A and B are shown apart, each in its own frame.
Chain A
């Protein structure tokens, strides 16, 4: 009884704080930082694995070890595709949907940046955010009806939208330059510091990858992430637990599109051109392959897949005419033998081999 009284008196005496507008101003940067800061309450000591530090160090120091500009160029591309694949893997790997039109959002991002920077002299930093916004906006508009579909139909509908965007971009020459695209996009620059060499662009791209990776990791471990997994597992069960399935799917679709918009914007600034090929079906296939082959259930998968496929494309480009047939054969083989991602089987094999080696060494030592 005393407890009851204490509690009720405490609540009754709780000070009423008024929410003032300027609190938003103070809270906003905190909120932004919290998006990418690791959550100390969710990260137990064991969770923060050594391998994450190792990967971070590898990303930081790799371009300094291999100072070949071709390597830098490849890794810049890999970084951009990693951002794209990360967004797509949230949509495909966690929420269990299929999107065959994601290249459209990449292209929207690229073209938004291109148009804003070349025609309206918007600084690239602002155009960068505008691209993500426009991609997410368009995703929001088309997402609601599309996401009601499932399986083959969803794949087809997204494919249809991708193709429609391609046709629109190719035909509206006044807006998008049609077949010739838009060129002359300036380098990406922030407050006077412009990323003009491959090395700087590398750090830009991979810095973004790291930031978005931490953001995604936080997302996946949060309530939203669990809702995603639930929707991916079974939509009916998820809605029976009280998850708003269509809202969740739409949110993650928008997020994936925003990631793609960012990636497209970086791509436009680095290539200094934007062209309709960014929307093509072949590019969508490439991105989806990155997500599948990297491994669909985790966040390292798309990044690994991006690096893997970028390197593969580079190696194949030496074979000029034979590159596409060989590429498709390799893709089909990888799909047949590694449908869960290249890493899983390889991991198992390597772990097995290491274990075998360790046991063998022990046995030899024992014998001696």
Chain B
């Protein structure tokens, strides 16, 4: 049957997009572990990573690796700015106000990006050549391997950051027990500030990885952010490993569902999964207890 001929292909493209969802979910988890805020603008960081790299590559004619690095730094700065200007003043506000503020930030970032960099979709040259590779009947762009490899490396890097460096340990402490960390002199606001930078950087990294495969336009951030959040909830809220797992699971399920439903409904699948998770297992697959029950 026709299905079997393209399910392996769908599986593979699901892995690729799953890696990106995983990166976005990592960004969400980083911020919300530190501050119990859900940053709806996370997807915009991904978009900005890709778009700014495109601009630096084609507009300022910088070499590719340098453009990517500078773009990540710029997006981290944007993350820092976002914390300072929006979330620090609202640190004591209610859940609703915080949601609206981050949504407002998301609109700002996406529309400004459309203004400054143009509204047409952008793409970047793949890291290693444009010819797709073939395994049997599946052909996929070589970029997909880069995406998977880089996600793996990033996970190791973040693990080392949070468990081997003092700063990372301080961030972990601040998220696990805010009061205790405060007593030890760890400034909670500083930790949140840094968390924003880290998650912005992670997002931008993901954006640079994915733009050679899928086009990025000023409006692709919003949906990506939502799906990344769904991945984080799916995998188990509050854990890095949960975010990664959730990302891949979401990517694969979404991709495989294409075999059974018309392609236009693909975006709806993620939200149906969200509703299932929220009803039946809000803790997610690798569920972890809520850190601060007040906020939830």
Contacts and interface: CB of A to CB of B under 8 A. Distances in A.
Q: Are chains A and B touching directly in their complex (CB below 8 angstroms)?
A: yes
B107 A167 contact: no
Question: Contact residue range for chain A?
Answer: 35 or more
A336 B102 CA distance: 12
Interface string B113-140: 0110000000000000000000000000
Q: Which of A152, A155, A281, A339 has the most CB of B within 10 A?
A: A152
A325 B111 contact: yes
Given A151-B296, A152-B99, A163 B107 contact: no
Contacts of A132: none
A327 B264 CA distance: 31
A160 B234 CA distance: 14
A247 B286 CA distance: 33
A328 interface: yes
Contacts of A98: 95-96, 99
B104 A156 contact: no
Q: DSSP majority for the B interface? A: helix
B278 A152 contact: no
B177 interface: no
Interface residues of B, number: 41
Interface in B229-283: 229-230, 233, 262, 264-265, 267-268, 271-272, 274-275, 278-279, 282
Contacts of B114: 324
A325 B271 CA distance: 27
A292 interface: yes
A150 interface: yes
B275 A160 contact: yes
A98 B99 CA distance: 10
A167 B264 contact: yes
Nearest to B229: A156
A355 interface: no
B101 A332 contact: yes
A176 B93 CA distance: 40
A329 B86 CA distance: 10
Q: 7 tightest CB-CB pairs across the interface, nearest first? A: A324-B111, A328-B108, A167-B268, A171-B264, A160-B271, A328-B107, A331-B104
Interface of A: 92, 98, 100, 145, 149-153, 155-157, 159-161, 163-164, 167-168, 170-171, 281-282, 285, 288-289, 292, 321-322, 324-325, 327-329, 331-332, 335-336, 339
13 contacts: A151-B95, A153-B282, A157-B275, A160-B271, A160-B272, A161-B275, A167-B265, A168-B268, A281-B222, A282-B107, A331-B100, A335-B90, A335-B97
